[in-house]
Amino acid sequence: MGTYTKEDLPAGRDTIGCKWVFLKKYDEDGNISRYKARLVAQGYSQIPGVDYNETFAPVVRLESVHAALGIAAIKDLEISQMDVKGAYLNGELEEEIYMRQPEGYDDGSGRVCRLRKTLYGLKQSGCEWNWEFDRKLTSIGFSKLEADHCVYKRIREGRMTIITVWVDDLLIFSETIEDMMETKGELHNLFDVKDLGEPKKIIGIEIKRDRENGTISLSQKQYIEGVLTRFGMQNARPVSTLLDPNVILKKRTDDLIADPAMVGGYQSVIGSLLYAARGTRPDISHAVQELGQFASNPGPEHWTALKRVCRYLAGTRNLELVFRANEEGEIISTGYSDASFASNPDDRKSISGYTYLIGGASFAWSSKKQSTVALSSTEAEYTALTHATRQAIWNRNLLSELGCPQEDSTLIFEDNQSTIALARDPQYHARSKHFDIQNHFIREKVENETIELYYCLTEEMVADIFTKTLPRPQHEKFV
C-alpha cells in the first residue's frame, strides 16, 4: 500500500515507536466474526508544529443517523452498509515522520520507516482521512450537507442518494436498487471497501428492519450487556426506575477525596452509559446527566445511584427506538420542551430537556443543566425552550437537505402557559428583561413561523423524563 519506505534516519531527527494491536470483531449476534491485527504508531511522542498541525476529524452526528434511518423507514428506501478497509492508511502524509520498524518485520539493517501515508495512531490520521474521503466523494458528484459535514448527498435524475460517515463505517441510502448498485460500484473503485449488505449493526447500534410492516428498530442490547459485564453488573437484580426518587444527590461535603482508581472507574461507567444515552436510550439521559456532575469526586451514595442505573439497564436492555412508516408518507418533526425549576440542590440551577420525533420515535433529544440560575419557573422553561428551538432550526435544515423540507412550522409542545404567552406577546415586560435576548429569539422564531408553540398537559409532557426522576407509572408511560 506504500505506507512507508525504509531509509536511514537523517541526522538530528527522532523516531516514533509502534506496536501491534489485536482486535476481535463481533457480528450482530454477539459472536466473534473475525480477528484483526493492526499496526499502530505511538503518536503520543509526536511534536506539534513539527510532526503534525491539524488533527480535528468529524464523525456523523447520531441525530443525523437517527433521522436518516427514520426517513428510510417512512420512504421505504434501500439501505446498505460498507466498511472502508484500512481507512486511515489512505491519507497522504505531508510531514516528514520516521518510525521504528515494527516487531516481527525488523530486517536488522538499522534503517527506519519513513511514513508516506498516515497510520493508525498518528495525531493527524483522522483529519487526513477525512480530507481524502471528502475529496474522492466530491469527485463523483456528492456534496456534504451544511447541517452535518459527515453526511453526503447526490441527486441524479431527481433521485437522491445519501451516505453517512463514521470514520470507516458507511451507511448508504437510495431510492432504487439501481442507484444503490451504482454507488457501491463507484465506492469500490475509489477505496478498498467491504460490502456488508443490509445493515445489522453499526457503531454499536443494532438495526432491525421489518420492511413488510415499515419499521426500523434501533437498540444497543449487546453494547449494554458488554458494559454490564465489564463492570461486574451482568447478574445484577433489575429495577424498574433509574434513580431513587427519595434520595437527593448532592456534592460531597465531608472533605474526603475519592481514591483515584475509584474516580477513574466511576468516570468510565459514566462515559459508557453516556454513549448508550446518546445512541438509543433517551430514557437514561437525565440520570446520566445528573450523575455525571459528581464524576470528579464521587461518594458512596453516587456509586449506589450509578449501580442502580446499571440495574435498570439490566432489566431494559431490549428496549428499542422504532421508526414507523405512515400511510401519508409524511416526515414531520414534532418536539417537546420542558424544564425542572431550581432542581439542583447544590446551585439551584434548573434542568432543560427536549425531544424531537419523526415516524413515532425520538431522533434528537437532550437533558442539560442550565448555565445560569433561573429566577422563576417561566424563565427556566424559556431557557429550555431556547435550547429546543435551536435544535428545531438544525432539524429543519437537516431534514430539508435530506429531501424532506418542513413546509409548516415545527410544532413544539410546552406545558407552561406563561412561557407560551410570553413568546406570543410583543409587549415589553419588566419581569423578563433580564433574559431579553432569549425572549427576542423565541418571539422571532414564532413570528417568522419557524416554530409554533402548543400547550400540553404536564401529564402528557414527554420531555418530563429528561428533566427529573419520575415515579414508575409516569416513567413507563413515556418510555
- Helix, strand or coil, per DSSP, at residue 279: helix
Return the number of other C-beta atoms located less than 10 Å from residue 346's C-beta.
Answer: 11
Query: Residue 440: its pLDDT value, please?
Result: 80
Contact 128, 119 (CB under 8 A): no
- Please report the DSSP string for 152-187 in residue order: EEEEETTEEEEEEEETTEEEEEESSHHHHHHHHHHH
Contact 103, 434 (CB under 8 A): no
Tell the burial category of 125 from Cβ atoms under 10 Å away from its Cβ (0-12, 13-18, 19+).
buried
Phi, psi of 414 (to 5 degrees): -140, 135
Question: What pLDDT, in 10s, does the model give residues 432-447?
Answer: 666 667 778 898 999 9
- CA-CA-CA-CA torsion sign (473, 477, 478, 479): positive
Query: Residue 430: its pLDDT value, please?
Result: 55
127: CB partners within 8 A, 6+ apart: 54, 55, 56, 57, 91
Nearest to 283 by CA among 208, 331, 219, 345: 219
- Pick one of 3.30.420.10, 1.10.540.10, 3.90.105.10, 3.40.50.1220 as the CATH number of 329-478: 3.30.420.10
The Cα 279–Cα 218 span in angstroms is 9
Task: Enter the pTM of the model.
Answer: 0.92
Question: What pLDDT, in 10s, does the model give residues 414-423?
Answer: 999 989 988 8
Sequence ranges of the domains in the chain: 4-203, 219-316, 329-478
Averaged over successive runs of 10 residues, the pLDDT of the chain (479 residues) comes to 91 94 84 90 91 92 98 98 94 93 94 95 95 97 98 98 98 98 98 96 96 98 96 94 90 82 94 98 98 94 96 97 93 97 91 98 98 90 95 98 97 94 70 67 93 96 96 89
Question: What pLDDT, in 10s, does the model give residues 246-288?
Answer: 889 999 877 778 888 889 999 999 999 999 999 999 999 999 9
The Cα 375–Cα 130 span in angstroms is 45
